[in-house]
Amino acid sequence: MKTGIQYNINITKNEIKAADLDILGAEYGELFFAGGAKVVRINYTMLEQAVLDGALDDLSISGTEILVAETIGFKTKEEIEKLTSLLVKCLPGFKSAGLSVCIENGYVTDGTKIYEGPLGSGVSLSAYIDRLNEKAGEEFFKAAFNIGCARALRLQIIEHVKALGNKISVLYVSDNDGKADLRQMPYTFTSVHSINSAGWEDLMDHFSTYAQEIFIIGDVRGTFAVSPKELKGTFLSLIGEILGEWKSSNDYEQIELPVNA
Amino acid sequence: MSEDIKIGIQTKGLIEKKENLEGIFGMIKNAGFDYLDFSLDAFYTNPAVSPKGSGEFFAQSTEEILAYFAEHKEVLKKTGLKCSQAHAPYPVYVERRKKQNDFMKDEVIPKCFAIAEFLEIPYMVIHSNKLRYNKNGSIEKEIALNLEYFETLIPIIKKTGVKVCFENLYETGEEGIIEGSCADPYEALNYIETLNEKAGEECFGFCLDSGHLNLVRRRFSDFVPVLGEHIKVLHIHDNDGTADNHQIPYTFKGVGGKGGGADWEDYLSNLHAFGFNGVYSFETFTAMGGSPDKLKPAMLRTIYETGRYFASYSDKGTGLL
């Protein structure tokens, strides 16, 4: 398990380093500022353009290991089929650039409310990835599960994480009020009755025994957008400690085989 | 640290039982805090607000209760922490519950004064009574009841030196959160000025609760200037605008200002405008209660750093990027 933070213009590289996080995640459109990001999120339009520009190799050269296809706003079969065609067509390019590719759960919004789209649930995302891999002829595509997107849809998050099984390679961590995708700090939407908004304990328990390499990334853009600049380092340290706790509870990397195995 | 920066946190969510007091007080001190808001309300959850309510603790004699807090006093001294304020159990009055009301007035509140005096706590928040939404109630009846009850406290305030603070409250109505007692700053000002005049000295002040103000959609700029120097203590916490979450400031709004968090620029600019020089005290028990034990020191440090920013706030060169 490796921990990371989604790049934000409001935080500095020194602050990121001080927060004891392993990697940097970034939006594709911010790569100019977030050089060296290992996990890069890209929407359909930008992916199409990146392929046309022959930019996949550049990503790999600059250190990117995983490309995450964002699906927020996808609502029709046609849109999904276009994504499928593009991903399958680009498979050789992904491979030659040494990139892994994950598909992220999303939602549909009319600007005021959030609705579950065809790739909103863990079940539907899992089925989609199966279909993609069938077309690819191999188990190439994986999942990036966004806890904040699932929380905004008021899903029972742990059930959707379990539905994805070992497909999850990237976990984006944020919290919200169950109405809007606020990208805020985990644990802070806990109610006065100590009900964990996103079911953080169940999620931590689940990933403590998760036997796959996984990048767990704090995607708390909302916190950095609304907090004063004097506190950004403090909040970054907090997300670093929260994710560090997830990492230390995961025993996947500590497994040592017996000498005679 | 600068002498005039004073930051505190409530004990609720941190010290529920008398176990490992030194360890917990030490953790609070290590995070940077110098002050505590002693949550006496955690020792008696009134049956009117919780089915788990039990008056056993306050049924003990004052001597027994003070003996219970002797260890707290010793550990406070040892760690260098001071109590800036306390919160009394609530509600003091519930219509048609004479036995319970008598217990609150005759046992719980006087013993809270004794504890506060023993622990050298200068201010105690006591919720004013609610009557305005009752079937036969009204705001006028509520105000009369409160003036009558709080006037009876003047002798014990003078005897113990523990001043009482009113707090802006909310209530939960059929369609969500509505204004409660002292949600109107002029109502609170009337209580404080009337009672201080009766006392002939300053016995009453105000506790500004940021979360409650956010819930009733009042602006700090409409509230703080009215009460000004009557504001003696703070309850700092944030929420989503629909529930009293008692959480860390800045953790509710999102990108584009969506979400229901408090307007902290409005809060800070108004507090600093009249020169508030008390303790920046956080009432953020769910941040502590809702996070795993191993993360509590990190949560405390985040709250403390937020307090440092609040206390040293200047509207020049700060704000969002």
Residue owning tokens 């353009």 = A49
Q: Which domains does chain B have, with CATH numbers?
A: 7-311 (3.20.20.150)
Other C-beta atoms lying within 10 Å of the C-beta of residue A58: 13
Collect all residues of chain B within an 8 Å Cβ-Cβ radius of residue A229: 318-321
Q: Which domains does chain A have, with CATH numbers?
A: 2-249 (3.20.20.150)
Instruction: Spell out the SS3 assignment of A38-93.
Output: CEEEECHHHHHHHHHCCCHHHHHHCCCCEEEECCCCCCCHHHHHHHHHHHHHHHHH
Collect all residues of chain B within an 8 Å Cβ-Cβ radius of residue A9: 321
Cα dist from A134 to A84, A127, A151, B174, B185, whole Å: 11, 11, 29, 53, 66
Q: Looking at this predicted complex, what is its ipTM? A: 0.90
Share of chain A above pLDDT 70, in %: 93
Q: Is the pLDDT of residue A90 over 60?
A: yes
Nearest Cα of chain A lies from the Cα of B68 at a distance, in angstroms, of 27
For the record, the structure tokens of A129 come out as: 């990835």
Q: Is the pLDDT of residue A259 over 70?
A: no
Of B245, B250, B292, the CB nearest to A223: B250
Collect all residues of chain A within an 8 Å Cβ-Cβ radius of residue B246: 192
- Residues A144 and A168: beta-carbon distance below 8 Å: yes
A152 to chain B, any CB pair closer than 8 A? The answer is: no
For the record, the structure tokens of B143 come out as: 């105000």
Q: Is the pLDDT of residue B21 over 60?
A: yes
Q: String of b and e for B99-119 (b: at least 16 CB within 10 Å)?
A: ebbebbeebbbebbbbbbbbb
pLDDT value of residue A111: 83
Inter-chain CB proximity B258 and A185 less than 8 Å: no
Q: pLDDT by residue (tens digit) across B120-173?
A: 999 999 999 998 888 888 999 999 999 999 999 999 999 999 999 999 999 988
What average pLDDT score do residues B100-126 get? 97
Q: Is the pLDDT of residue B1 over 70?
A: no
What average pLDDT score do residues A227-249 get? 93
pLDDT value of residue B53: 66
Q: Is the pLDDT of residue B59 over 70?
A: yes
Interface of A with B in 179-238 (CB under 8 A): 180-185, 187-192, 194, 196, 201, 204, 221-223, 225-231, 234-235, 237-238
Inter-chain CB proximity A188 and B243 less than 8 Å: no
Collect all residues of chain A within an 8 Å Cβ-Cβ radius of residue B254: 176, 180-184, 221-222, 225-226
Nearest Cα of chain A lies from the Cα of B45 at a distance, in angstroms, of 14
Higher pLDDT, B17 or A52: A52
Q: Judge if the upstream peptide bond of residue A92 is cis by omega within 30 degrees of 0.
A: no
B186 to chain A, any CB pair closer than 8 A? The answer is: no
Alpha-carbon span A62 to A73, nearest angstrom? 29
Q: pLDDT by residue (tens digit) across B204-248?
A: 999 999 999 999 999 999 999 999 999 999 999 999 888 888 999
Of B246, B260, B318, the CB nearest to A228: B318
pLDDT value of residue A257: 54
Of A188, A192, A238, the CB nearest to B244: A192
pLDDT value of residue A29: 92
Q: pLDDT by residue (tens digit) across A176-187?
A: 888 889 999 998
DSSP class of B108: I
Q: Using 50, 70 and 90 to split pLDDT, how confident is the model at A261?
A: very low
Of A176, A191, A234, the CB nearest to B305: A234
Higher pLDDT, A32 or B42: B42
Q: pLDDT by residue (tens digit) across B163-216?
A: 999 999 999 888 889 999 999 999 999 999 999 999 999 999 999 999 999 999
- Residues B84 and B35: beta-carbon distance below 8 Å: yes
What average pLDDT score do residues B24-40 get? 97
Alpha-carbon span A100 to A67, nearest angstrom? 6
pTM equals: 0.92
Inter-chain CB proximity A242 and B295 less than 8 Å: yes
- Residues A94 and A47: beta-carbon distance below 8 Å: no
pLDDT value of residue B19: 85
**What mean pLDDT value characterizes chain B?**
92
pLDDT value of residue A199: 85
Amino acid (1-letter code) at residue A118: P
Alpha-carbon span B153 to B92, nearest angstrom? 12
Q: pLDDT by residue (tens digit) across A39-49?
A: 999 999 999 99
